[in-house]
């Protein structure tokens, strides 16, 4: 089926220029294509489910800016609201009505978020939530899960997923050892390990922070009873439970993963979709906890662009459209169908894969055994994923440039995009069947 070699001349020249002006030629490490080979994509525009690069090549996009664009690229209503807001001013540095409306919409959708603080990134949301948890409980330690990524917060770059996992680094330089010592780690989906840690150090733990559905070691779903254990044990020991729903918030339904499992965390972090494709995030929780934030309480947090009026307008319109369009069922069904067919094609080509899916997010692991945590994700054949990624890219399908990231669908993905993707997959899997592969070399967990 091969459509021929991609035109990449202009993109290559841009990358050469970028390397002189930007560190590594990129502004975020996972964009560097180190895990899949070649040089980064330079995109020029997007519309619906399609991206066009600087050389005019088009791609069905399953990355969607790493998740925010559930309505697709350049949704006309979202753009209209953003432009209307921009015409009135790009930033005020003051209070304004749209930030109030957005906070009210979030609180209506996610009942556990009785009060909200708007910020500019998921990293900032996680950082603020953790500082608040420490200030509220007057304890110093945080429990996270191996392979869980909560932004580039110093104390959380310990056994992290996402870009740190992709690059195979054990930790980040520049993080003082004493800061890292404030972070405890347990395997995701291992309730017994959580019990052991709390038995030993429960009176020191301020909070447990978790992606309720992991998305930064690839998609990994919680096993039965795991999240319920976290809720029970944090309440027993007086620690807070923080759900990092930066990826999953408004991806599955309006109420987030917590509404599907019927679990109310003490604090929730949101990002990506809540900003409608603009730099905006939030954290929030029970009123009594949020009341410890400045200016009401002693825990300081601030940001010049927090609640930016343009971003707030885009985010508010995105949430309103998701509520009125009622697209979640179709998105989930379409994603299930796509993953089922990809599995069948891989099986027919005798290529072992495991596809983890929940709602409209999924990861295709080149692995023979189930992927349930960081350790099992690491057993994936990353060389084979890199080869698959490059073949799909040649056929006009843009997947995340890392085995350990999530793919997403938007409401603009339809039958045509799915058929094109499956046709490309037949070609890609067929080529892998003939190609020799190597097992992934052992990568030490981050922090070891």
308 SS3 class: coil
Q: What is the pLDDT along the chain (448 residues), one digit of tens a residue?
A: 444 568 889 999 999 999 999 999 999 998 999 999 999 999 999 999 999 999 999 999 999 999 999 999 999 999 999 999 999 999 999 999 999 999 999 999 999 999 999 999 999 999 999 999 999 999 999 999 999 999 987 777 765 554 444 433 335 677 777 777 889 999 999 999 999 999 999 999 999 999 999 999 999 999 999 999 999 999 999 999 999 999 999 999 999 999 999 999 999 999 999 999 999 999 999 999 999 999 999 999 999 999 999 999 999 999 999 999 889 999 999 999 999 999 999 999 999 999 999 999 999 999 999 999 999 999 999 999 999 999 999 999 999 999 999 999 999 999 999 999 999 999 999 999 755 444 444 333 222 2
Question: What b-and-e string marks burial along 274-296, b requiring 16 or more CB atoms within 10 Å of the CB?
Answer: bbbbbbbbbbbbbeebbebbeee
DSSP-derived secondary structure letter, 320: H
Q: Return d(Cα 327, Cα 12) in angstroms, integer.
A: 38
Question: Which spans in 154-224 are helix H?
Answer: 162-167, 177-180, 191-201
Set 53, 171, 190, 244: catalytic member:
244
Domains of the chain: 9-73+326-434 (3.90.1150.10), 76-324 (3.40.640.10)
User: Helices 226-237 and 191-201, interaxial angle, to 10°?
Assistant: 10
- Strand-pair partners of 119: 281
Q: Which of 81, 141, 144, 272 is catalytic?
A: 272
Q: How many CA within 13 A on the CB side of residue 178?
A: 0
Q: Coil, strand, or helix at residue 87?
A: helix
Contacts of 380 (CB under 8 A, 6+ apart): 218, 365, 366, 367, 371, 403, 404, 440
Round to whole Å and give the CA distance between 177 and 155.
9
In terms of Cα–Cα distance, which of 313, 253, 244 is closest to 89? 313
Q: Residue 335 is inside which H or E element, if any? A: helix 328-348
Query: CA 248, 385, 346, 1 torsion: positive or negative?
Result: positive
Output Rg (C-alpha) for the chain, integer angstroms: 21
User: Coil, strand or helix: which one is 311?
Assistant: helix
Is 141 in contact with 182 (CB distance < 8 Å)? yes
Distances (CA, A) of 102 to 220, 316, 319, 444: 30, 5, 9, 42
**Cis-peptide into 295, omega within 30 deg:** yes
The verdict on whether 323 is a catalytic residue reads no
Say what the pLDDT of residue 175 is: 74
**d(C-alpha 297, C-alpha 117), whole Å:** 13
Residues 127, 133: Cα–Cα separation, whole Å: 10
Check: CB of residue 63 under 8 Å from CB of residue 399. Answer: yes
Q: Which positions ≥6 away from 100 have C-beta within 8 Å?
A: none
Q: How many other β-carbons are positioned within 10 Å of the β-carbon of residue 29? A: 18
CA within 13 Å, CB half, 213: 25
Helical packing angle, 309-325 and 76-87, nearest 10°: 150
Please return the burial class of 165, using the count of CB atoms within 10 Å of its CB with bins 0-12, 13-18 and 19+.
buried
The residues near 170 (Cβ < 8 Å, ≥ 6 apart) are 444, 445, 446, 447, 448
Using CA atoms in the order 189, 190, 196, 202, what is the torsion angle rounded to 10 degrees?
0
Q: Which one from 59, 136, 149, 374 is the annotated catalytic residue? A: 149
pLDDT at 206: 98
Contact between 358 and 429 under an 8 Å Cβ cutoff? The reply is no
- Cα–Cα nearest to 149, from 405, 444, 443, 448: 405
Q: What is the pLDDT of residue 159?
A: 59
Is 244 tagged catalytic?
A: yes
How much is the pLDDT for 6?
84
What end-to-end distance do the CA atoms of the chain give, in Å?
Answer: 45
DSSP for residue 222: P
- 190 has catalytic annotation: no
Interstrand relation of 407-408 and 361-365 (parallel, antiparallel or unpaired): antiparallel
């Amino acid at each position: 089926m091969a459509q021929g070699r991609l035109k990449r001349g202009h993109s290559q020249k841009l990358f050469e220029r970028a390397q002189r002006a930007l560190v590594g030629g990129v502004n975020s490490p996972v964009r560097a294509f180190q895990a899949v080979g070649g040089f980064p994509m330079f995109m020029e525009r997007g519309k619906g489910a399609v991206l066009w690069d600087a050389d005019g090549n088009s791609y069905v996009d399953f990355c969607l800016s790493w998740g925010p664009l559930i309505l697709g690229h350049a949704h006309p209503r979202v753009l209209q609201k953003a432009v209307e807001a921009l015409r009135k001013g790009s930033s005020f540095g003051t209070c304004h009505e749209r930030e109030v409306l957005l906070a009210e919409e979030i609180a209506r959708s996610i009942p556990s978020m009785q009060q909200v603080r708007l910020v500019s990134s998921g990293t900032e949301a996680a950082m603020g939530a953790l500082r608040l948890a420490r200030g509220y409980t007057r304890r110093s330690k945080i429990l996270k899960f191996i392979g869980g990524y909560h932004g580039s917060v110093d104390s959380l770059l310990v056994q992290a997923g996402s870009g740190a996992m992709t690059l195979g680094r054990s930790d980040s330089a520049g993080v003082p050892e004493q800061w890292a010592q404030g972070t405890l780690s347990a395997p995701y989906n291992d309730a017994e390990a959580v019990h052991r840690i709390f038995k030993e150090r429960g009176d020191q733990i301020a909070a447990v922070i978790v992606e309720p559905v992991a998305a930064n070691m690839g998609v990994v779903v919680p096993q039965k009873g795991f999240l319920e254990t976290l809720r029970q044990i944090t309440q027993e020991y007086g620690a807070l439970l923080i759900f990092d729903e930066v990826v999953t918030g408004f991806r599955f339904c309006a109420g987030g993963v917590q509404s599907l499992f019927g679990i109310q965390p003490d604090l929730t972090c949101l990002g990506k979709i809540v900003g409608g494709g603009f730099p905006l995030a939030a954290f929030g929780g029970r009123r009594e906890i949020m009341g410890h934030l400045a200016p009401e309480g002693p825990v300081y947090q601030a940001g010049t662009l927090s609640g930016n009026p343009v971003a707030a307008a885009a985010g508010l319109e995105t949430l309103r459209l998701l509520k009125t369009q009622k697209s979640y069922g179709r998105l989930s069904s379409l994603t299930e169908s796509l993953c089922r067919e990809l599995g069948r094609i891989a099986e027919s080509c005798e290529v072992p894969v495991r596809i983890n899916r929940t709602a409209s997010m999924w990861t295709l692991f080149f692995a023979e055994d189930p992927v349930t945590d960081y350790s099992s994700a690491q057993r994936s054949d990353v060389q084979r994923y890199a080869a698959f990624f490059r073949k799909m890219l040649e056929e006009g399908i843009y997947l995340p440039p890392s085995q350990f990231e999530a793919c997403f669908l938007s409401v603009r993905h339809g039958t045509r995009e799915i058929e094109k993707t499956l046709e490309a997959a037949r070609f890609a899997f067929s080529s892998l069947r003939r190609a020799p592969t190597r097992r992934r070399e052992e990568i030490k967990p981050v922090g070891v």
